[in-house]
Structure 1
Amino acid sequence: MQIKRKEWQQFIPQPVEAIWDFFSRPENLKKLTPAKVGITMLTDLSGKKMYPGMLIPYYISPLLGIRMKWTTEITHIDPMHYFIDVQQEGPYAFWHHQHHFTPLDGGTLMHDILHYKVPYGPIGTIADLLMVNNMVDEIFTHRHEAIESYFGKER
């Protein structure tokens, strides 16, 4: 399977400082993830801000309750502008997720760029077509709705 690219944008009617404060705390990841993914943080990161090199280990159970370890590394940060997380251990052959924040009149434009690759060659390609691609979309749709519930809807 080739590396796949997906993008999402969302206008959030809050200043970039508030949005950055929320997204720069790994403890909030669970608040943005569907319950059915079964995310369980393995380290207490309450009140901690992310930094380049930070490792965030957790378990997920996205498929048939099968528990998988996933460790994300925060590789780059430009405060109030963007950060990048990369899977170091987990279910994907490749995962690179950019989070961009642009201040605009009346709020913040959040732009996500995700590159991912499912392992296992042709079997992974079929798995992506049958379920992984849809699961990724569902997770980001849920995230969009969760952000609206925390910060309000675009008017």
Structure 2
Amino acid sequence: MKLYQHSAQQKLPISLDEAWKFLTDANNLKLLTPPELEMKVLYGTERGMYPGQLIEYSVKPLPLYRTNWVTHITQVQEKEFFVDEQMYGPYATWHHKHFIKEIPGGTLMEDLIHYRLPLGLLGKLGAPFVKKQLEEIFRFRESALTKHFGEFKNQ
């Protein structure tokens, strides 16, 4: 099965501390997720982020299909990066690395996702749809973060 990749980056006009606090609070995912996905956090957010943490969400990736998504936080390096992997959910494989670093005027946030699709050949045929959906999700997230924190001003 093919391993696909998606990457994104965004500059935020906030401190590294503020970015870390916001991005590692899974309860903020609802703000960053398009409403049509109807994301709900079910459990696992009672404490701050830590390696070994399990977080369960309910999500609607397709109009008539709702599923639960269980994320395993596998690595955390405070104020540098964290990694989540899907244990159960809509993908055959999902490995998402979140990096942040201080830059003049704020924080640079970078995402690198590797994923595989389920359903063999049928999943492969749906790859362009999934790629487009991921691009739309990250555009929404970029807009939501800009709305929440303001526009990054180039130095």
State TM-score, norm by structure 1.
0.94
CA apart distance, 1:65: 3.3
- Which residue number corresponds to residue 76 of structure 2? 77
Find the aligned partners of 1:41 and 1:19 in 2 and give their Cα distance: 20
Equivalent position of 1:67 in the other structure? 66
Unmatched runs of 5 consecutive residues or more in structure 1: none
TM superposition shift of 1:38: 0.9
Name the residue aligned to 1:22. Answer: 22
Post-superposition shift, 1:44? 6.6
Q: 1:66 to 1:83 in 2, by over 3 A?
A: same
Q: Identity over the aligned pairs, expressed in percent?
A: 37
Unaligned runs of 5+ in 2: none
Secondary structure of the structure 1 residue equivalent to 2:151: coil
Q: Which amino acid aligns with 1:153?
A: E
> How do 1:4-153 and structure 2 match up within 5 A?
4-43=4-43, 45=45, 48-129=47-128, 131-153=129-151
Q: Distance in 1 between matches of 2:103 and 2:64?
A: 41
Q: CA RMSD in A?
A: 1.2
Q: CA deviation at 1:115?
A: 0.5
Displacement after TM superposition at 1:45 (Å): 2.6
Cα deviations by residue, 1:81-126 (Å, 9 ceiling, x for unpaired): 0000000000100000000001011100101001011111111011
Q: For each residue in 1:8-44, what CA deviation from the matched residue of structure 2 results, as whole angstroms up to 9, or x when unmatched?
A: 1111111110000001111111111011011111127
For 1:44 and 1:93, the matched residues in 2 are separated by: 22
